[in-house]
């Protein structure tokens, strides 16, 4: 059973005739009844004496709003919390504690039934935590982009029947002087439509750092809403993507500036192939009282084929005078001079495309400070670590 829902609503509707204010998508509602006790036990060992891990009801975190909007919760998620055993994994980090190693969470939806995974994180005053979430099948070294097996995987995903839904709901509160880093990687997850939804509040001098890699053979809808409620709170977002075949990547990222002297940065870089479709909505909203705040967003898009569809929608809203907001986008193809130069050095044209595309993703991976996470992502996406 499936239901049509509206997600990724832009904060201030615009461009109505182009139908870019939101996305209408069908979600398959045959969900597995997932028990997260095993996940809780594994995360508890990683948190140690720096905090606690428990399981809470979905109603306990309803106040935290997310980037995909309310409809996915009103029509799907809330009923799962109420009528099934699907609960929320809750991580709490004590005041002034630094969890040194990243908390790694791995998801492998098989496409037979839909799945919901919910995580709620609280990082107390002066504490720090890194979460690494990956949803992918690890490829072998000879399955890297451009190989026959990679092409076959893309074709299989394209020709798949009705796709199951995978919902990842991440909500967090970052307290004063605390830091939360979230790294998310979506690799090859064929025959599954992904809904990745994030909502975060950040207090005085707190920092939320988000790094995302979308490189899967599937359609992905992702939303982020960050409320910078504290003075001098910060948001730093870096996103890399490849979209191939006829898949869709639909992004809605909202930075709400409430506190004074807040800072947000959204950096997006990606590649579009075949007949793929990508929409990026980036909204910076300076609320009344956010004087001295700065927000900027930029996107760099590489178009590999003539039939791709790219939509970039920057939006800056302002209810305060003493603020600075900027946005920009670079959209185009590989420069002929660069391509010619590399080809004269014996690099085949197809390999030139692969090099340029990989460079986009690698520029985002470089933003990650933890070397173990970097190496794991490289193995996941390319079949080899950075060191190999």
Q: Does residue 145 have a pLDDT over 50?
A: no
Q: Does residue 152 have a pLDDT over 50?
A: no
Q: Does residue 272 have a pLDDT over 90?
A: yes
325-350 average pLDDT score: 82
* Nearest alpha carbon to residue 255 among 289, 214, 296: 296
Q: Is residue 383 part of a domain?
A: no
Q: Is residue 178 part of a domain?
A: yes
Q: Is residue 382 part of a domain?
A: no
Q: At what angle do helices 371-382 and 349-365 cross, to 10 degrees?
A: 150
Q: pLDDT (tens digit, 9 = 90+) per residue, 256-266?
A: 999 999 999 99
Q: 19 lies in which domain range?
A: 2-333
How far is 202 from 257, CA to CA, in rounded Å? 10
How far is 114 from 39, CA to CA, in rounded Å? 18
Residue whose pair of structure tokens reads 């995974």 in the numeric block: 117
In this prediction, residue 351 has a pLDDT band, given cuts at 50, 70 and 90, of confident
How far is 237 from 243, CA to CA, in rounded Å? 19
Q: Does residue 148 have a pLDDT over 80?
A: no
In this prediction, residue 153 has a pLDDT band, given cuts at 50, 70 and 90, of very low
Q: Is residue 40 part of a domain?
A: yes
Measured in degrees and rounded to the nearest 5, phi and psi for residue 157 equal -65, -40
- pTM, entire model: 0.91
Q: Is residue 344 part of a domain?
A: no
Count of domains in the chain? 1
Q: Is residue 376 part of a domain?
A: no
- Whether the Cβ atoms of residue 271 and residue 302 lie closer than 8 Å to each other: yes
Q: Is residue 358 part of a domain?
A: no
Tokens of 69: 């909007």
Q: In the prediction, which pLDDT does 14 show?
A: 77
Q: Is residue 165 part of a domain?
A: yes
DSSP per residue over 259-287, as a string? STT-EEEEEEEEEE-TT-EEEEEEEEEE-
Percent of the chain with pLDDT over 70: 91
Strands (E) located in the chain:
2-7, 23-28, 51-56, 88-93, 103-107, 115-123, 128-135, 164-174, 179-186, 192-202, 207-214, 220-228, 234-243, 248-257, 263-272, 277-286, 294-303, 309-318, 324-332
- Whether the Cβ atoms of residue 197 and residue 169 lie closer than 8 Å to each other: yes
């Amino acid at each position: 059973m499936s239901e049509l829902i509206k997600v990724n609503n832009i904060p201030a509707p615009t461009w109505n005739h182009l139908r870019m204010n939101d996305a209408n998508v069908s979600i398959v509602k045959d969900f597995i009844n997932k028990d997260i006790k095993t996940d809780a036990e594994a995360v508890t060992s990683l948190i140690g004496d720096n905090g606690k891990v428990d399981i809470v009801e979905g109603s306990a975190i309803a106040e935290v709003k997310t980037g995909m909007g309310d409809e996915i919760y009103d029509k799907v998620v809330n009923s799962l919390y109420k009528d099934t055993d699907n609960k929320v994994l809750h991580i709490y980090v004590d005041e002034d504690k630094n969890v040194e190693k990243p908390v790694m969470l791995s998801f492998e939806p098989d496409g037979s039934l839909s799945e919901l995974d919910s995580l709620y994180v609280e990082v107390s005053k002066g504490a720090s935590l890194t979460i690494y979430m990956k949803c992918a099948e690890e490829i072998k070294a000879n399955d890297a982009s451009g190989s026959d097996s990679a092409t076959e995987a893309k074709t299989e995903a394209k020709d798949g029947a009705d796709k199951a839904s995978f919902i990842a709901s991440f909500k967090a509160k970052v307290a004063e002087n605390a830091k939360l880093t979230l790294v998310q990687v979506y690799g090859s997850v064929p025959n599954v439509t992904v809904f990745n939804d994030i909502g975060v509040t950040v207090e005085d001098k707190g920092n939320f750092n988000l790094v995302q890699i979308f490189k899967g053979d599937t359609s992905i809808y992702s939303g982020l809403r960050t409320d910078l409620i504290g003075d001098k709170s910060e948001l730093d977002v870096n996103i890399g993507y490849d979209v191939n075949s006829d898949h869709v990547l639909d992004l809605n990222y909202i930075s709400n500036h409430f506190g004074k002297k807040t800072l947000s940065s959204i950096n997006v870089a990606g590649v579009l192939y075949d007949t793929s479709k990508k929409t990026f909505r980036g909204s910076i909203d300076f609320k009344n009282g956010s004087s001295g705040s700065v927000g900027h967003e930029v996107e760099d898009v590489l178009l590999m084929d003539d039939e791709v569809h790219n939509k970039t929608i920057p939006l800056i809203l302002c209810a305060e005078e003493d603020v600075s907001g900027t946005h920009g986008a670079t959209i185009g193809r590989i420069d002929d001079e660069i391509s010619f130069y590399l080809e004269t050095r014996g690099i085949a044209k197809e390999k030139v495309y692969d090099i340029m595309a990989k460079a986009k993703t690698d520029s985002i991976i470089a933003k990650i400070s933890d070397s173990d996470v970097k190496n794991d992502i490289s193995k996941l996406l390319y079949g080899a670590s950075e060191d190999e």
